[in-house]
Amino acid sequence: YIKATEGSSHNDTRFAKNWSAAKKNGFIRGAYHYFSTKSSGERQAMTFISKVRLEPGDLPPMIDVEEEPKDAVAYREELKTFISTIEKHYGVKPIIYTYKKFHSRHIDNVHFNGYPLWIARYNANDPGIGNEWIIWQCTENGRLPGIGEKVDINVFNGTMEELEKLRIK
C-alpha cells in the first residue's frame, strides 16, 4: 500500500512515482489515505479521488484512522461520509486500518460493520480482535533485503486466492 493523501490538502510527493513503479515491477498495489480530524470527510474523499486512479488488479483503497478525535460522534459521521464517498466512486468497500484500542473505541462493528479491517498490533501473538481482520500489521521494525530502514511487516488473513478476490475487477 502506498500513501497517496492526508487530510484535505496533503498529497504525498512520491505517490505518482511509487504508484507507477509498483505497477511496472509487477507488485499488487493499493493506495491509502491518512484520515484527519482537521477537515471534512467529503473534502478528504475528494482529495483522495483526485489523486488516485485505481485500475483492474489494484487493491481496494485503505483509510488509515488513528488520530484521536475530540468529538467521537462527529468523527464517526465524517469517517462514514469519507467511506461512503470512496465506496461509491470506486465501487468497492475500502479497508479500514487502525490499531486495536482505536478500533474498540471508535471503529468497532457497531459503527462500521462489513468493512474489511487492517489492524496494527505489535508485541502480541495475534491482532486481538478475533477473526474479523483481513490484514495484521505485526511490527513496524521489520527488515527486508535491499531496504536500508525499518519497514512495517503485515500478515494477510487468508490464501493467495482470497487475496486475488480482493483485487478490483
Instruction: To the nearest 10°, report the CA torsion of 33, 72, 43, 18.
Output: -10
Measured distance CA(72)–CA(147) in Å, rounded:
38
Cβ atoms of 95 and 117 closer than 8 Å: yes
Quick one: cell of 44?
A: 478528504
Cβ atoms of 103 and 117 closer than 8 Å: yes
Q: Please list the alpha-helical segments (H only) found in 103-159.
A: 109-112
**Neighbouring-strand partners of residue 129:** 131
State which H helix or E strand residue 1 sits in.
Answer: none
Of the candidates 69, 55, 102, 70, which has an alpha carbon nearest to the alpha carbon of residue 117? 102
Instruction: Verify whether residue 66 is a known catalytic residue.
Output: yes
Catalytic residue among 42, 55, 66, 162: 66
Find the farthest-apart pair of alpha carbons in the chain and give their distance in angstroms, rounded. 44
Which residues are marked as active site? 66
